[in-house]
Amino acid sequence: MTQVDILILSNGPGEVTTWVRPVVRALRQELGDDRSVVRISVVLSPCSNASGQEAAIALSYPEVDRVQAADHFWQFLLWGKTFENWDWRSRGVVVFLGGDQVFSVVIGKKLGYRTVVYAEWEARWHNWIDRFGIMKPQVAARVPQKYAHKFTVVGDLMLEASSHSSLVIGHLSLAKDRGQMTNDTDASTASHKVGQKTELIGLLPGSKAAKLAQGVPLCLAIAEYIYSKRPQTKFVIPLAPTLDLQTLASFADRQKNSIAKIFGFGGACLIVPEEAKSNALLKTTTGLTVELWQENPAYNLLSQCCICVTTVGANTAELGALGVPMIVLLPTQQIDAMRSWDGLPGLLANLPVVGTPFAKVINWSFLRFVRRKGLLAWPNIWAQEEIVPELMGELQPQEVGEMVVDFLAHPEKLDDIRTKLRNIRGESGAAQKIAQIVGEEMS
């Protein structure tokens, strides 16, 4: 059988975890696991949102044979040479899963490979790309008719999150089962006395320092307020794969994160149980404990949440794909700290010395634009209306907490959000359809 190389181009943490993971799994299912016949390589391009752990994450996927980090991308793009001087088979397919679509064109020409692009919102370079797998028919609406044969509607890769979620209730360790998430004995006992069902709430403060500095103390302060009103609530933070426990905990420490006092948050300490099967906790000064979930992806866990409190980012797309209601926060107390923008603005904002002025200008302009246009969360962008609440400004824990309490007291509101989230997404099975397109291009 002819030997073939599949080269996957990707970039940021969101793409690597939510696009690359299901596609490489589908490729092995479609094309087999014989590495002497089909070899899968991943090459990463620079991304302003990158954490530096993307290469390690991609290499952890058992379906992937080799990975090159973003540090060496430009050399590869310009000269076709990888850092480790990889060999390339005579036949292959370049699969675009994040970055700039033109990279597929250049690299495909250099290697003499066919090219397949997953286009979520916009498809470019129609005359140079061999095949497009698109999320919705609208992506191809403005494409010249002579290129229409290149386009196949595959659906939404983000829906792979929900398709791989088994929705096993009880997978999370709750207080009654393992004693892990016990906020305090009296409150827990009170909850059982009134016969109220445990309500699980997910807190997603972000994955980079720029967001964590505000997101961690704000989310924990919100959790404290909610728990004071509804002691049957339990809270969990699913850690991003690029984040470790100590780093997360440092943002909950008032001595290490001065922004915490802006939200009136008293701080929290990290508790790491001796038992290997138990999850670590953050315990606040009020006695509230929040479980830290390190298993990734956390789709099973998130699917059990009544509601999530999250920052802006790819996590809103994941929650939307899972049909999980959310409240999206963009606190502006420390606007200069928010430097997690894509593309050139993000690169400029993070430059030494001159980065701070750039960040202030970028954020000020962005906030003016957002206040005028709205729609920051991906589900709202998809629907072109506010399906999930977006809160921006100098947010206070009490006001956000009260909104969550109201949702919990009126579950019909949460049901309405779930229904709308399910209705706006494309069809499932995108990864398998992309794998089928790659198989067709191989032959």
Profile the chain (443 residues) by mean pLDDT over runs of 10 residues.
Answer: 91 85 94 94 87 87 95 92 94 94 94 94 90 89 88 84 43 38 39 60 89 93 96 94 89 92 92 83 95 85 93 86 92 60 48 54 55 72 88 92 96 95 78 95 89
∠ Cα 234 235 236 (to 5°): 135
161, part of any domain:
no
Range of the domain at 90: 4-156+427-442
CA 328 – CA 321 distance, rounded (Å) = 15
What tokens does 398 get? 């009490």
Residue 118 pLDDT: 96
80, part of any domain:
yes
Phi then psi for 216, rounded to 5 degrees? Answer: -65, -55
Tell me the HSE value of 137 on the side-chain side, using a 13 A CA sphere. Answer: 0
Residue 315 pLDDT: 86
Are 300 and 263 members of one domain? yes
Are 247 and 364 members of one domain? yes
Residue 299 pLDDT: 81
- Contact status, residue 334 vs residue 212, Cβ threshold 8 Å: no
What tokens does 399 get? 């006001």
Are 438 and 374 members of one domain? no
∠ Cα 348 343 340 (to 5°): 70
Are 372 and 287 members of one domain? yes
286, part of any domain:
yes
Residue 308 pLDDT: 97
Contacts of 307 (CB under 8 A, 6+ apart): 201, 202, 324, 325, 326, 327, 404, 407, 408, 414
Residue 351 pLDDT: 53
Are 366 and 333 members of one domain? yes
250, part of any domain:
yes
Are 263 and 128 members of one domain? no
Residue 352 pLDDT: 59
Residue 132 pLDDT: 96
Are 20 and 133 members of one domain? yes
The CATH number that applies at residue 135 is 3.40.50.2000
340, part of any domain:
yes
Are 277 and 367 members of one domain? yes
393, part of any domain:
yes
Are 285 and 323 members of one domain? yes
Q: For residue 269, give the DSSP letter.
A: E
Sheet holding 390-393, edge to edge: 268-271, 281-284, 289-293, 233-238, 199-204, 307-311, 326-331, 390-393
Residue 204 pLDDT: 95
225, part of any domain:
yes
Tell me the HSE value of 256 on the side-chain side, using a 13 A CA sphere. Answer: 16
Are 131 and 211 members of one domain? no
CA 83 – CA 74 distance, rounded (Å) = 10
Are 117 and 59 members of one domain? yes
> How many C-beta atoms surround the C-beta of residue 370 within 10 A?
15
- Domain count for the chain, please give it: 2
Are 291 and 145 members of one domain? no
